Chains A and B, each alone.
Chain A
């Protein structure tokens, strides 16, 4: 399969993640859709790395995974903190950025 096919799949996955981020209201699912978008980017990075026969894209993909793990840690910590304060787990209800 040519590189173009992989790039098309990565664009579709990225757009699906964008749909989820824009339409879902549960912050847990929004985090999952952010993961989808990061994975779409990762697939494009690795496809381009294969195209050039160069490892830089793969290193960047590994670093993106690291950043995604950090983002998950902080996001899930925030969700647990929201739950502890008995606030609704719904991004439409959480309008005020105050403690």
Chain B
């Protein structure tokens, strides 16, 4: 049973990753990444990482991807932008197809190296199903277990991560804000009504053309 679930999750994760890389439209790439993240959460569940799987679905596939969708909708689909048209002409340098082939070859070499490094480690436990696991309310991988670790052994890491989030939030606001204020301020401050009139305006004195001393 777990093998079937593993192959479904692994196939979903790899298909989602291929979709992110191959699809032309960035919007479809974001949707493929959501599918990839959910499939990966299934694999996390199989590895007894319940809390991490829940965080993956709720925070990553939920919140972060919504941010992506907003920016893609704001910027728009620029997959056939200026760069593609410029590259069609004789610009010199390697062509896009050659660059793409080179990237694929490099990544293939990287994959082979990673597989050798990960699977050829000589760690005997790599061929097992992992350490022993006994189900329970506070066992390995549950929210209670992760929370206990975060607030005892990894308290400093936890605090540094929260500070990093604060810095990133401020940085995002600073980067994406409008330079030079809102458009309305371009006209200068709004002129007040003309309440300061010369003395005697609108009186009998103005009507008869003489001025009171």
Contacts and interface: CB of A to CB of B under 8 A. Distances in A.
B21 A19 contact: yes
Contact of A3 (B55, B126, B179): B126
Contacts of A62: 51-52, 55, 146, 150
A67 B171 CA distance: 14
Q: How large is the interface on A (under 10, 10 to 19, 20 to 34, 35 or more residues)?
A: 35 or more
Contact of B130 (A22, A26, A53): A53
Contacts of A50: 47-49, 130-131
A21 to B, nearest CB: 8
Nearest to B114: A11
B64 interface: yes
A49 B179 CA distance: 46
Interface in B34-72: 36-37, 40, 43-44, 46-49, 51-52, 55-56, 59-60, 63-64, 67-68, 71-72
Instruction: Name which of B47, B82, B108 has the most chain A CB atoms within 10 A of its CB.
Output: B47
8 contacts: A3-B126, A14-B110, A15-B111, A24-B21, A26-B78, A29-B26, A51-B125, A62-B51
